[in-house]
Amino acid sequence: MSGLTRKYVKKVLERMRDKRVVVIGDFMLDRYIWGEVSRISPEAPVVVVEANEDAQRPGGAGNVVLNLTSLGASCDAIGLIGDDENGRNLVQLLEQHGANTEGMIVANDRPTTVKTRVIAGNQQLLRVDREKKGEAAVNVQGQLVERVRGAIESADAVILQDYNKGLLTASLIRETIAVASEYDVPVMVDPKSNHFFEYQHATLFKPNLREAENALGVELHKTAEVEQACRELKDRLQAEAVLITRGSQGMMLLDGDNNPVHVEPKPRRISDVSGAGDTVISTITLAMISGLDGAKAVRLATHAAEYVVGRVGVVPITPEDLLNQVEG
């Protein structure tokens, strides 16, 4: 991938340490139960996992925060948690990674979203979700707007990370983009199906292939079709740039000058795609606000994604990981 030498990427990583990013979205607590498959259960035709390790990590928008702070940036987290132990654990974990959690609001009408994954060896066997979806209460939405306004003024970028849990309402999306525009702060969007076309005038809009297909009502197989989809989304959203991630087929960026950039990843064994999109939006955001053009930023984000899909579970990228990936 031309232009991304170790020396060059080291300088970019140094610039990332001066950046501050506000992450607004659906925060979750990821739980992991690691173990080994010992036998088939006599009670039902399912495997028995003998657990030997438990772990908790920030998930969803929290994983975006982890990627940003792991790469050296400062980060403000704005989202909802329940009035429960899981929420308190999530905030504590975010703070341990250096995030400012003053924007995390306790909502009394919902529990903290928790995703529990059971993993044996390098294989995820099961995921159990505990959550309540839906828009937050009106008074909570008002608090979110206040937190957003207070955080954006001194930010270098904003990431809107949507997982369809209800935090990102149409009004909050519009308010956030409007406030960011006042302060000339770029807004990067990782959307889901709800409110897909509400993100008008985003700086970067990053759906994955399936999300783009569903929103446009088409199937996208060929690279030329994906490029055309980028152009349609860019036009309908009045976005500065659109990036469609395509899994093993790489990424397609349509930049601010309407130039297409298609980057394919190196062939490698994929262990787990969980969290790869979080890593991409985090890396490309920091790359772009650190001075990289669209082509180089996408290539750097591709390197980051190559690393995380080779790991089991949701893991953030570190500067060392990224440098090693560039070298490799």
Which tokens is 267 given?
């062939």
Assess contact for 88 and 5: CB atoms under 8 A. Answer: no
Distance CA 176, CA 191 (A): 14
For residue 265, the model assigns a pLDDT of 76
User: Cα angle at 199 between 214 and 131, to 5 degrees?
Assistant: 70
Distance CA 165, CA 169 (A): 10
Which tokens is 26 given?
């659906």
Assess contact for 158 and 201: CB atoms under 8 A. Answer: no
For residue 316, the model assigns a pLDDT of 83
Which tokens is 248 given?
């093993």
For residue 264, the model assigns a pLDDT of 87
What fold characterizes domain 6-29+57-113+132-327? UDP-N-acetylmuramoyl-L-alanine:D-glutamate ligase (3.40.1190)
Annotated catalytic residue within 30, 278, 293, 321: 278
For residue 152, the model assigns a pLDDT of 96
Chain Cα centroid distance, residue 93? 17
For residue 41, the model assigns a pLDDT of 94
- Respond yes or no: is residue 109 known to be catalytic: no
Distance CA 139, CA 262 (A): 44
Phi first, then psi: what are they for 142, rounded to 5°?
-65, -40
Burial (Cβ within 10 Å: 0-12, 13-18, ≥19) of residue 247: middle
Q: How many residues does the chain have?
A: 328
The closest of 104, 116, 132, 91 to 25, measured between CA atoms, is 104
The closest of 69, 76, 68, 74 to 23, measured between CA atoms, is 76
Phi-psi region of 127 (alpha: psi -120 to 50; beta: other; left: phi over 0): beta
For residue 128, the model assigns a pLDDT of 97
Task: Map out the domains of the chain as residue ranges.
Answer: 6-29+57-113+132-327
For residue 271, the model assigns a pLDDT of 45
CB proximity list for 138: less than 8 A, separation 6 or greater? none
Which tokens is 61 given?
């928008």
Distance CA 247, CA 255 (A): 20
Assess contact for 126 and 118: CB atoms under 8 A. Answer: yes
Q: Residue 106 pairs with which residues in a beta bridge?
A: 81
User: Tens digit of pLDDT per residue, the chain (328 long)?
Assistant: 457 898 999 999 999 999 999 999 999 999 999 999 989 999 999 999 999 999 999 999 999 999 999 999 999 999 999 999 999 999 999 999 999 999 999 999 899 999 999 999 888 899 999 999 999 888 899 999 999 999 999 999 999 999 999 999 999 999 999 999 999 999 999 999 889 999 999 999 999 999 999 999 999 999 999 999 999 999 999 999 999 999 889 999 999 999 999 998 776 554 445 568 899 999 999 999 999 999 999 999 999 998 888 776 667 889 999 998 887 5
